């Protein structure tokens, strides 16, 4: 049988690939893997320490009836519902606007001054202190409606969530390969069909991650809610009345001079963390079902 040069080259390459790595290379690989795992564990250590501290201290004072009674009856139910209500209002206001703005910036706009201005303003709003956002919402909503309310609190949270959703949506869409856009165009898809049926569908995991981050940030904000929703010891009377929230409750409990009341700060923190985890899992589940459909 005649030997072809390409066959000999393939055989030589296969032989080289089958050779064991030199000892120095193996030691270096194990060393780098060990360093990588060690640094990863070191990065997770502060987070795990915080979670352990909150769980260990908060579990002491936790009682099941706290989840069903308002604060006036030694419970947190009104603060839990108030947090869910205002975060939901913020999400309803910010998610559609944020996603559509991100789609516009990534797919429909050219590199013009208006687009650059929108990106610049969005980046600035991301770094604005939350207390400034609370003052803005106070001037726009509270003074106009002449009262603190859940609507004002939800509006303040929407302002905080909006830039996060815009930037993450834009980045998620930019990560989609150009080949998908070209393939859709080659099959006769319009620009609208390509964007919403191909690009946005492929970017749903990234968009969902941005929404989860925005919700997690908004759920833990205190200063904007002090300026807008204030607080209530009992159940809220409606969207236009002062509403309790977990972050403001933690603030009030911490400033209480009674040590027994201070202990409830840790219990409230557990509930707030659980609520944030619930929102994150819910958004992931919705994204998963949307991707399957």
Amino acid 226: pLDDT: 94
**Position 1 confidence tier, pLDDT thresholds 50, 70, 90:** very low
State the sign of the Cα–Cα–Cα–Cα dihedral 11, 17, 18, 22: positive
DSSP annotation of 27 reads H
pLDDT at 189: 83
Q: Domain spanning 64-292 has what CATH number?
A: 1.10.3720.10
Coil, helix or strand for 267?
helix
Look at phi and psi of residue 146 and say left if phi exceeds 0, alpha if psi is from -120 to 50, else beta: left
- Domain boundaries of the chain, sorted by first residue: 5-58, 64-292
In the numeric block, the tokens 């589940």 are attached to 285
For helices 204-219 and 259-292, angle between their N-to-C axes, nearest 10 degrees: 160
Token pair 């002449």: residue: 146
pLDDT in tens, 89-143: 999 999 999 999 999 998 887 677 888 888 889 989 988 999 999 999 999 999 9
CA pseudo-torsion sign 206, 151, 145, 143: negative
Residue with more model confidence, 20 or 149: 149
pTM (global) more than 0.75: yes
CA separation for the pair 156, 140 (Å, rounded) = 10
């Amino acid at each position: 049988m005649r030997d072809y040069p390409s066959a000999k080259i393939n055989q030589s390459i296969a032989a080289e690939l089958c050779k064991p790595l030199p000892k120095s290379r193996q030691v270096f690989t194990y060393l780098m893997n060990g360093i990588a795992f060690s640094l990863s564990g070191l990065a997770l250590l502060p987070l795990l320490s915080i979670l352990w501290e909150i769980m260990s201290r908060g579990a002491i004072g936790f009682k099941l009836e706290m989840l069903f009674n308002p604060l006036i009856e030694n419970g947190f139910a009104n603060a839990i519902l108030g947090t869910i209500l205002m975060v939901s209002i913020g999400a309803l206001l910010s998610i559609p606007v944020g996603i559509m703005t991100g789609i516009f910036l990534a797919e429909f706009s050219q590199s013009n001054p208006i687009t650059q201005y929108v990106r610049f303003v969005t980046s600035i709003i991301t770094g604005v202190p939350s207390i400034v956002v609370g003052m803005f919402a106070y001037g726009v909503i509270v003074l106009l409606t002449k009262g603190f309310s859940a609507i004002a609190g939800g509006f303040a949270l929407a302002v905080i969530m909006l830039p996060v959703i815009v930037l993450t949506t834009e980045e998620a869409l930019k990560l989609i390969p150009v080949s998908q856009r070209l393939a859709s165009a080659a099959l006769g898809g319009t620009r609208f069909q390509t964007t919403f049926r191909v690009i946005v569908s492929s970017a749903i995991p990234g968009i969902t991650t941005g929404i989860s981050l925005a919700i997690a940030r908004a759920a833990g904000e205190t200063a904007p809610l002090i300026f807008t929703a204030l607080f209530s010891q009992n159940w809220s009377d409606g969207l236009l009345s002062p509403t309790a929230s977990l972050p403001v409750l933690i603030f009030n409990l911490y400033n209480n001079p009674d040590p027994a009341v201070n202990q409830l700060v840790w219990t409230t923190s557990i509930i707030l963390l659980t609520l944030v985890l619930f929102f994150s899992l819910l958004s992931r589940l919705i994204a998963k079902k949307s991707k399957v459909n």
